[in-house]
């Protein structure tokens, strides 16, 4: 499309020739005629001053001077570039309609514009809002309540009684409301603790492929508005995850943990049960979180430590063999007994 049209759709200031044709977005290293790129840091600003590069760029105002291509001025170039990708590559959405192999309970209620794929199953008493998309083999158990613009990819499952808000997406194989993990020793064996609560997903939550959110023992496991889970993430029973928190792949949150708003956990972070994590906490990959963590903390390691301390002792790990040899040498020279 013409750059002027793109500027209008994005609501951004256009500087330069709006008649330039833009064919696709591209990463900075692939800048070429017909492509639009984004520049959000001084590190990449020099590329804008080269001739023969991209057709256009989305940039912060401070990097606009001297650019050789037309520009779209943005307060957040990365976010607006993401919007450009969505414009040029809209997500696949099947046409409205119900595949003849789908199984829908007679009393289930579907909003207008629903698309129900092959072999999808919708149980008794289910309510789903407008424009829902259930891809093949998605399963909704009885009495679930789901809002508008819901998307369940293939083999996603919503268990009985769970409540889901608007604009929620479940990627392939996600399971919402599986039984929580609870057993009691009795009479030489294990007695399963009934898991009779539900899961609540508020608006704009996205659950990654093969991720699981367990139902509460009693009450609800709650993921608040805008929470994003990567693939293969596990949320235990009775957890509560604050607004817009994001977990990378393989994060595991044990039961009854409370995680604040706008937190970010790297891959394979583990959080102990009943921990209380504040708002805007960042946890480095493979951290082990135990106990409570204050708002705004940046932590790493197992058990977790403040990042500035973690970096110090992590740097010392590599010197342990050398330090051990030096201690042995001192012991040998002094004639003292070696430490075992």
Q: Which residues are known catalytic residues? A: 237
Peptide bond into 303 cis (omega under 30): yes
Burial state string for 17-30 with b = 16 or more CB within 10 A and e = fewer than 16:
ebebebeebbebee
For residue 154, give Cα distances in angstroms to 97, 141, 192, 230.
16, 15, 30, 16
For residue 171, give Cα distances in angstroms to 31, 85, 278.
32, 19, 28
Say how far apart CA 143 and CA 6 lie, in whole Å. 44
Residue from 46, 26, 45 nearest 36 by CA: 26
> On the CB side of 26, how many CA atoms lie within 13 Å of its CA?
17
Give me the sign of the Cα torsion angle 41, 45, 48, 54: negative
3-class DSSP assignment, residue 92? coil
Q: Which residues contact 120 (CB under 8 A, 6 or more apart)?
A: 99, 102, 103, 134, 135, 136, 137, 138, 139
Question: What tokens were used for 207?
Answer: 């659950």
Residue with tokens 């057709």: 55
Residue with tokens 């008649």: 19
Q: Which residues contact 309 (CB under 8 A, 6 or more apart)?
A: none
Q: Taking CA 175 as the corner, what is the angle to CA 240 and CA 244, rounded to the nearest 5 degrees?
A: 40
Dihedral-angle region of residue 16 (phi above 0 means left; psi in -120 to 50 means alpha; beta otherwise): left
């Amino acid at each position: 499309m013409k750059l002027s049209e793109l500027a209008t759709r994005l609501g951004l200031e256009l500087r330069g020739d709006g008649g330039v044709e833009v064919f696709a977005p591209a990463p900075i290293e692939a800048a070429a005629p017909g492509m639009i790129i984004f520049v959000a840091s001084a590190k990449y600003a020099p590329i804008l001053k080269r001739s023969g590069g991209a057709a256009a760029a989305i940039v912060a105002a401070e990097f606009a001077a001297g650019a050789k291509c037309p520009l779209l001025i943005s307060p957040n170039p990365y976010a607006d570039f993401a919007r450009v990708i969505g414009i040029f590559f809209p997500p696949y959405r099947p046409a409205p309609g119900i595949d003849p192999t789908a199984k829908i309970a007679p009393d289930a209620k579907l909003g207008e514009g629903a698309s129900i794929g092959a072999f999808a199953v919708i149980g008794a008493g289910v309510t789903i809002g407008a424009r829902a998309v259930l891809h093949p083999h998605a399963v909704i158990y009885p009495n679930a309540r789901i809002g508008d613009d819901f998307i369940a990819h293939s083999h996603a499952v919503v268990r009985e009684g769970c409540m889901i808000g608007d604009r929620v997406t479940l990627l392939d194989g996600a399971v919402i409301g599986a039984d929580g993990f609870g057993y009691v020793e009795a009479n030489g064996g294990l007695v399963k603790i009934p898991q009779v609560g539900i899961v609540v997903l508020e608006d704009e939550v996205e659950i990654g492929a093969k991720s699981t959110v367990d139902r509460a023992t009693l009450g609800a496991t709650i993921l608040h508005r805008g929470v994003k889970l990567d693939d293969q993430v596990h949320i235990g029973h009775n957890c509560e995850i604050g607004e817009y928190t994001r977990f990378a792949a393989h994060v595991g949150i044990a039961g009854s943990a409370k995680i604040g708003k706008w937190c970010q956990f790297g891959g394979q972070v583990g959080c102990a049960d009943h921990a209380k994590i504040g708002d805007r906490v960042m946890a480095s990959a493979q951290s082990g979180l135990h106990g409570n963590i204050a708002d705004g903390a940046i932590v790493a390691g197992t058990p977790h430590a403040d990042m500035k301390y973690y970096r110090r002792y992590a740097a010392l790990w590599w010197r342990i063999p050398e330090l051990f040899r030096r201690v042995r040498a001192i012991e040998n020279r002094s004639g003292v007994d070696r430490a075992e």
